[in-house]
Amino acid sequence: MPESRRIVIFGCGALGSLFAGLLAAAGHEVVAVCRNEQQREAIRQRGLQLLEKENQRQVPFQACAELPAGERYDLVIVLVKSFDTEAAAQILAERLSPQSPVLTLQNGLGNAEALAARLQPGQVLAGVTTFGALQEAPGVVRLTGRGECEIGAWDRAAELHLRAAAQLLTGSGLPCSISPNIGAALWKKLAVNAVINPLTALLRVPNGELLQHEELQNLFAVIVEEVWHVAARCRVGLPMPPELVAEVRRVCQLTAANRSSMFRDVEQGRPTEIDAINGAVVRLGRERGVLTPANLTLASLIQTLSQHVAK
């Protein structure tokens, strides 16, 4: 059992609940900031029901609507949707000790920048994770795929927190490595998400079914090439487009039964993170003179679909 640490999970959706549950099960003192009242009350009353294959366990931890002020924590993990990051950053800046490291494991681009604009340079860590989760009901989350985490310092001043954060996660059953170039890792995941998320949401299919349609394979390549060209203009070095397409296919195979977060958001009439994924590719491309028609089309379709479903 690792030494107990004080941890905040800011955002208690599927992935946030999963991380809170796994860290609490490892013996850490977890505070989950949860705005959804049903989710919060379910966790308060009976703990989180954590499901994995045929196994289940109840994991108690603290769930609250607001972060207590002035406290110092060993790690704060931000897992709100990307469109809520600026609001989360403002709350953290007002209520969190500046000695507490803050790690974003969110989808898309712009999250670390939003946190860095409000917090101290030595606080912000950024990363990616391949863990999968599905919230089946308030207070019930299923681990749909064990993966790993990759983290790095957003500013050199935050490097002093890296080893402790990686050891904390790894020791809690969340394997974590340290990246010297976390920006490239964020863009690589963006390339994968830019294909899988909007296409599964538009077609209403699980991830693996994308591989069953030969006519989609050229579209994979076009989307990824646009991401690659924009990343290059942003001075971010990525694997060549064929390697990125191979990574998209690999993720589709590994998560074949999963429904992407964007698919679930569209299905349930919730806002999506399209602006931080394909929308970010379009926006940065315009700023740097790179045409991104495939990403623009996907972003426009998802935005239209979301508005239609929400009515």
Three-state secondary-structure class, residue 109: coil
Please name which of 24, 31, 277, 20 lies closest in space to residue 141, comparing C-alpha atoms.
20
So what's the pLDDT on residue 311? Answer: 52
Cβ atoms 16, 8 nearer than 8 A? no
Q: Is the pLDDT assigned to residue 1 strictly greater than 60? A: no
So what's the pLDDT on residue 152? Answer: 98
pLDDT digits (tens, 9 = 90+) for 154-181: 999 999 999 999 999 999 999 999 999 9
Query: CA dist 71 to 20, 97, 117, Å?
Result: 18, 6, 21
**95 token code pair:** 């209520």
Distance CA 8, CA 16 (A): 10
Cβ atoms 296, 197 nearer than 8 A? no
For the CA atoms of 288, 292, 297, 300, the dihedral, rounded to the nearest 10 degrees, stands at -10
**75 token code pair:** 């790690």
pLDDT digits (tens, 9 = 90+) for 64-110: 999 988 889 999 999 999 999 999 999 999 999 999 999 999 999 99
Active-site annotation holds for 188: no
Distance CA 140, CA 119 (A): 32
So what's the pLDDT on residue 116? Answer: 97
Same fold, 6-180 and 183-310: no
- Fold adopted by 6-180: Rossmann fold (3.40.50)
Q: How confident is the model at residue 310 (pLDDT cuts 50, 70, 90)?
A: low
Distance CA 200, CA 197 (A): 6
Query: CA dist 90 to 22, 71, 126, 158, 202, Å?
Result: 27, 16, 17, 19, 33
Three-state secondary-structure class, residue 125: strand
So what's the pLDDT on residue 200? Answer: 98
Distance CA 189, CA 307 (A): 26
Cα end-to-end distance, the chain, whole Å: 49
Please name which of 135, 142, 139, 133 lies closest in space to residue 47, comparing C-alpha atoms.
139
Cβ atoms 132, 121 nearer than 8 A? no
Q: How confident is the model at residue 306 (pLDDT cuts 50, 70, 90)?
A: confident
pTM comes to 0.94
Query: CA dist 75 to 8, 96, 119, 125, Å?
Result: 6, 11, 14, 10
**Side-chain-facing half-sphere of 215: CA atoms under 13 Å:** 1
So what's the pLDDT on residue 220? Answer: 98
Q: Tell whether the torsion through CA atoms of 26, 28, 33 and 34 is positive or negative.
A: positive
Cβ atoms 193, 281 nearer than 8 A? no
Three-state secondary-structure class, residue 147: coil
Q: Where are the domains of the chain?
A: 6-180, 183-310
Three-state secondary-structure class, residue 102: strand
Q: Mean pLDDT, the chain, as a whole number? A: 95
Active-site position among 53, 81, 188, 189: 189
Cβ atoms 135, 14 nearer than 8 A? yes
The arithmetic mean of pLDDT across residues 210-224, rounded, is 95
Query: 183-310 belongs to which homologous superfamily?
Result: N-(1-d-carboxylethyl)-l-norvaline Dehydrogenase; domain 2 (1.10.1040.10)
Beta strand pairing call for 176-178 and 149-153:
parallel
